[in-house]
C-alpha cells in the first residue's frame, strides 16, 4: 500500500473501497485495514461505515462501530440517529439524542431534529416531543422548512391540531409538504370542512393532497364526495397512483358504482398496479360488494401474492352473497396455503354460516378461532354466533350466549334475536329483546313494528293496538328507505319522502305512466283469463 501524507489522505483512500465492497468478508477486511491504519476513532470514516450499515440493514454492526468511538462529532451522531430511524429503532434514537445533550460538546442541528421528531411521534410520546420542540427553540435553526415540516407532522400524529397549526402559521417558508401534513391530519380526523378550506387555499396540489381528501371523505362516510374528488383530480391532470385507487374503491363499493370500479380495474391493469396486493384486495372487495362475485373470483384466482386480507376479503365476499360453500372452500384453501387467519377471516366465515343456517359449523369455527388461533372474539363475532343460533331456532342457547359474553350486547344483537322471534313465535325472548332495544334505541320505530307483527301473528290484537297508539304518541322515528342507481357513471340516491331531487316532477310523471300501462296490462290479462274460464 502506498505511503500517505496525512490522516485526511488515508480517509479519502478508504471511501471508494467502502462504496465498492462486494461481500461481507471483503467488508470485514476493509474494516480491519481501517483499524490498522489508526482510523477506528475517525468520525468521518465511521460515519461512512454507519451509513453503509443503514443501507444493508445491519444495525448491530452499526451500533458496535458507533459505541467504539469515544468522541463522536455531530455528523456521526446524525448518521446513527438517521440509521436507527430508518430501521424503526426509535428508543435508540432518543437514547442517542440524550447522549448528545449530556455527553457531547456538539449541539443538535437541522439534520438531527427531523428524525428525533419522527421518533417521538412513532413512540406516541407527546410530552417528549414537546421537550424536543423546546430544545429546537433553544439550539436549532428556527426557520428550516424540513425541521418545521417534521414538527407539524409530529403534532398532527398526536392529534394536537392547535400546536400543529401554530407551527404552520409561524413558518416563514412553506412547501407542499407543509400543506400536505396539515391537510392530511385534518382529513384523517374527519375534519373535512377545515381540510377542504386548506385544500382550496393550497398554492400547489399533489397526488398526496387529492388522496388525503378522497380518503378523508371516505372515512366520514361521504362516499359521493370522495368519488367527486377522484374525478376532479383527473380533470386537474393528476394521474391516480396505487394509494389513491385504494382510497376511492371503498366508496365505489358503498355506492354500488360498478362502472367506475371496472374503469379503475382497467386503469390499474394498464399501469401495472395489479402487481400490488393492496390494489387487488380493494378491487376484489369492490366487485363483491357491487354484486359481481364472478369477477371478484376471477381476479382473486389470478392474484399471485395473496395475504390474509386477500383471503379474508374473498371469504367475506362469498358470505355477502350467501355462498357458504364458497366461503368454507376458500378457508380450506387458505389453510392449505398456510396463511394464518385473523379475526376478519372468522367474521366472514361466521357470517356465511349464519346466512344458510349452518349452526354446528358456525360453533366449530367460533371454537377454532379461540382454541386453535388464540383470537379473542369481539362483539361482532358474538353477534354472528347469536344470529346463527337464533336463525337455527336455538333461541334459548342464543340468549345464554348474550348473558355469558364478556361485553354488553349491542342493539344489533338484540335486533337479531327479535327478528328471529317472529319466525319462531317466541314471545318471551321477543319481550326480553325489546326491553333492551328500548333502552339502547328508544326512538327506533322498527323495533316496535317487529314486536307488533309478532303480537299479530299470535292473534294478540289488543297488544297490537296498544303498540300502535304508543308509536303515534311517542317520539319514535321511522328510518326512511333509500335506494341507489348508477347512470352514466354518476350514482343517484333516492330517499322516501324527499321531493327535493332535481327533475322530481318528471320522475313522478314517468312513474305514473308506468303505473297506467301496468293497470292496462292487468285488465288485458284478466280479460284473457276470463275468456277461458280461469277467473
Q: Exposed, middle or buried by CB within 10 Å (0-12, 13-18, 19+), for 189?
A: middle
Does 506 score more than 80 pLDDT?
Answer: no
- In CATH, the architecture of 205-305 is Alpha Horseshoe (1.25)
Residue 27 CA, chain-centre distance (Å), reads 43
Question: How far apart (Å, rounded) are the C-alpha atoms in residues 99 and 83?
Answer: 16
Per-domain boundaries in the chain: 205-305, 317-372, 377-483, 499-535
Q: Exposed, middle or buried by CB within 10 Å (0-12, 13-18, 19+), for 239?
A: exposed
For 113, residues 6+ apart whose C-beta sits below 8 A from its C-beta are 132, 135, 136, 140, 147, 150, 151
Share of the chain above pLDDT 70, in %: 81
* Residue range 238-250, pLDDT digits in tens: 999 999 999 999 9
For 499, residues 6+ apart whose C-beta sits below 8 A from its C-beta are none
Does 444 score more than 70 pLDDT?
Answer: no
Residue in the block written with cell 328510518: 479
Share of the chain above pLDDT 90, in %: 54
**pLDDT number for residue 515:** 65
Three-state secondary structure string covering 192-203: HHHHHHHHHHCC
For 205, residues 6+ apart whose C-beta sits below 8 A from its C-beta are 176, 199, 236, 238
Element spanning 182, H or E: helix 176-188
Say whether 485 sits in a helix, a strand or coil.
Answer: strand
Q: Which of 40-44, 160-164, 382-386, 464-468 has the lowest mean pLDDT?
A: 464-468
Phi-psi region of 466 (alpha: psi -120 to 50; beta: other; left: phi over 0): alpha
Q: What is the mean pLDDT of residues 37-61?
A: 88
Question: How far apart (Å, rounded) are the C-alpha atoms in residues 275 and 259?
Answer: 22
Closest to 174 (Cα-Cα) out of 185, 161, 183, 186: 183
Question: How far apart (Å, rounded) are the C-alpha atoms in residues 50 and 45?
Answer: 9
Residue 504 pLDDT level (bands cut at 50, 70, 90): low
**pLDDT number for residue 340:** 95
**pLDDT number for residue 339:** 95
Residue 529 pLDDT level (bands cut at 50, 70, 90): very low
Say whether 477 sits in a helix, a strand or coil.
Answer: strand
Residue 355 pLDDT level (bands cut at 50, 70, 90): confident
Task: Note whether 419 and 429 are within 8 A (CB).
Answer: no
For 180, residues 6+ apart whose C-beta sits below 8 A from its C-beta are 206, 208, 209, 212
Does 169 score more than 80 pLDDT?
Answer: yes
* 377-483 fold: 1.25.40
Residue 528 pLDDT level (bands cut at 50, 70, 90): very low
Q: What is the mean pLDDT of residues 220-249?
A: 94
Q: What is the mean pLDDT of residues 86-111?
A: 89
* Residue range 288-297, pLDDT digits in tens: 999 999 999 9
Residue 472 pLDDT level (bands cut at 50, 70, 90): low
Does 103 score more than 50 pLDDT?
Answer: yes
Mean of per-residue pLDDT scores for the chain: 84
Q: Which of 81-95, 204-218, 309-323, 413-427 has the lowest mean pLDDT?
A: 413-427
For 381, residues 6+ apart whose C-beta sits below 8 A from its C-beta are 343, 346, 347, 350, 366, 369
C-alpha cell at 236: 386537474
Q: Which of 39-48, 114-123, 254-263 has the lowest mean pLDDT?
A: 39-48
Question: How far apart (Å, rounded) are the C-alpha atoms in residues 364 and 191?
Answer: 43
Does 1 score more than 50 pLDDT?
Answer: no
Does 383 score more than 60 pLDDT?
Answer: yes
Q: Exposed, middle or buried by CB within 10 Å (0-12, 13-18, 19+), for 422?
A: middle
Q: What is the mean pLDDT of residues 20-32?
A: 79
Neighbours of 193 (CB within 10 A): 8
Residue 219 pLDDT level (bands cut at 50, 70, 90): very high
**pLDDT number for residue 451:** 66
Say whether 401 sits in a helix, a strand or coil.
Answer: helix
Residue 502 pLDDT level (bands cut at 50, 70, 90): low
Where is pLDDT greater, at 387 or 310?
Answer: 310
Where is pLDDT greater, at 475 or 9?
Answer: 9
For 527, residues 6+ apart whose C-beta sits below 8 A from its C-beta are none
Closest to 378 (Cα-Cα) out of 346, 355, 349, 418: 346
Does 308 score more than 90 pLDDT?
Answer: yes
**Identical fold, 205-305 and 377-483:** yes
Rounded to 10 degrees, what is the CA torsion of 457, 458, 459, 460? Answer: -120
Task: Note whether 211 and 183 are within 8 A (CB).
Answer: no
Amino acid at each position: 500500500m502506498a505511503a500517505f501524507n496525512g490522516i485526511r489522505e488515508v480517509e479519502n483512500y478508504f471511501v471508494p473501497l467502502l462504496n465498492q465492497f462486494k461481500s461481507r468478508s471483503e467488508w470485514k477486511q476493509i474494516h480491519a485495514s481501517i483499524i490498522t491504519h489508526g482510523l477506528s476513532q475517525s468520525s468521518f470514516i465511521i460515519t461512512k461505515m454507519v451509513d453503509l450499515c443503514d443501507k444493508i440493514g445491519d444495525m448491530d454492526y452499526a451500533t458496535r462501530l458507533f459505541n467504539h468511538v469515544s468522541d463522536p462529532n455531530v455528523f456521526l451522531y446524525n448518521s446513527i440517529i438517521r440509521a436507527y430511524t430508518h430501521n424503526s429503532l426509535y428508543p435508540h434514537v432518543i437514547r442517542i439524542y440524550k447522549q448528545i445533550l449530556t455527553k457531547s460538546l456538539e449541539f443538535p442541528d437541522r439534520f438531527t431534529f427531523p428524525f428525533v421528531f419522527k421518533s417521538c411521534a412513532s413512540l406516541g410520546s407527546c410530552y417528549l416531543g414537546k421537550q424536543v420542540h423546546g430544545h429546537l427553540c433553544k439550539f436549532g435553526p428556527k426557520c428550516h422548512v424540513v425541521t418545521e415540516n417534521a414538527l407539524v407532522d409530529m403534532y398532527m400524529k398526536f392529534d394536537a391540531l392547535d400546536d400543529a397549526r401554530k407551527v404552520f402559521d409561524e413558518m416563514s417558508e412553506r412547501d407542499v409538504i407543509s400543506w400536505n401534513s396539515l391537510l392530511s391530519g385534518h382529513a384523517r380526523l374527519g375534519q373535512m370542512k377545515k381540510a377542504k378550506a386548506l385544500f382550496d387555499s393550497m398554492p400547489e396540489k399533489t397526488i398526496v393532497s387529492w388522496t388525503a381528501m378522497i380518503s378523508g371523505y371516505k372515512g366520514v362516510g361521504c362516499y359521493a364526495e370522495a368519488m367527486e374528488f377522484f374525478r376532479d383530480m383527473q380533470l386537474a391532470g393528476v394521474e391516480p397512483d396505487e394509494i389513491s385507487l385504494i382510497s376511492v374503491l371503498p366508496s365505489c363499493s358503498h355506492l354500488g358504482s360498478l362502472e367506475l370500479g371496472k374503469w379503475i380495474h382497467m386503469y390499474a391493469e394498464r399501469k401495472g398496479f395489479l402487481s400490488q396486493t393492496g390494489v387487488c384486495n380493494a378491487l376484489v372487495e369492490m366487485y363483491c360488494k357491487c354484486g359481481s362475485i364472478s369477477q371478484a373470483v376471477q381476479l382473486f384466482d389470478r392474484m399471485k401474492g395473496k395475504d390474509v386480507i386477500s383471503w379474508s376479503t374473498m371469504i367475506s365476499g362469498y358470505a355477502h352473497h350467501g355462498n357458504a360453500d364458497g366461503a368454507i372452500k376458500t378457508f380450506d384453501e387458505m389453510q392449505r396455503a398456510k396463511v394464518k387467519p385473523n379475526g376478519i377471516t372468522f367474521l366472514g366465515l361466521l357470517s356465511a354460516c349464519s346466512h344458510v343456517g349452518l349452526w354446528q359449523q358456525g360453533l366449530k369455527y367460533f371454537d377454532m378461532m379461540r382454541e386453535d388461533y388464540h383470537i379473542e372474539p369481539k362483539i361482532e363475532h358474538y353477534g354472528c354466533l347469536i344470529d346463527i343460533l337464533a336463525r337455527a331456532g336455538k333461541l334459548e342457547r342464543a340468549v345464554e350466549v348474550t348473558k355469558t359474553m364478556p361485553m354488553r350486547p349491542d342493539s344489533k344483537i338484540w335486533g337479531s334475536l327479535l327478528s328471529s322471534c317472529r319466525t319462531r313465535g317466541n314471545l318471551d325472548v321477543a319481550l326480553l329483546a325489546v326491553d333492551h332495544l328500548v333502552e339502547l334505541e328508544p326512538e327506533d320505530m322498527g323495533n316496535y313494528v317487529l314486536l307488533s307483527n309478532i303480537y299479530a301473528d299470535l292473534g294478540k290484537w289488543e297488544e297490537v293496538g296498544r303498540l300502535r297508539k304508543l308509536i303515534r304518541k311517542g317520539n319514535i322515528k321511522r328510518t326512511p328507505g333509500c335506494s341507489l342507481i348508477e347512470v352514466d357513471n354518476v350514482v343517484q340516491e333516492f330517499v322516501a319522502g324527499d321531493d327535493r331531487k332535481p327533475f322530481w316532477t318528471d320522475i313522478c310523471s314517468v312513474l305514473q305512466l308506468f303505473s297506467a300501462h301496468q293497470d292496462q296490462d292487468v285488465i288485458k290479462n284478466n280479460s284473457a283469463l276470463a275468456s277461458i274460464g280461469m277467473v
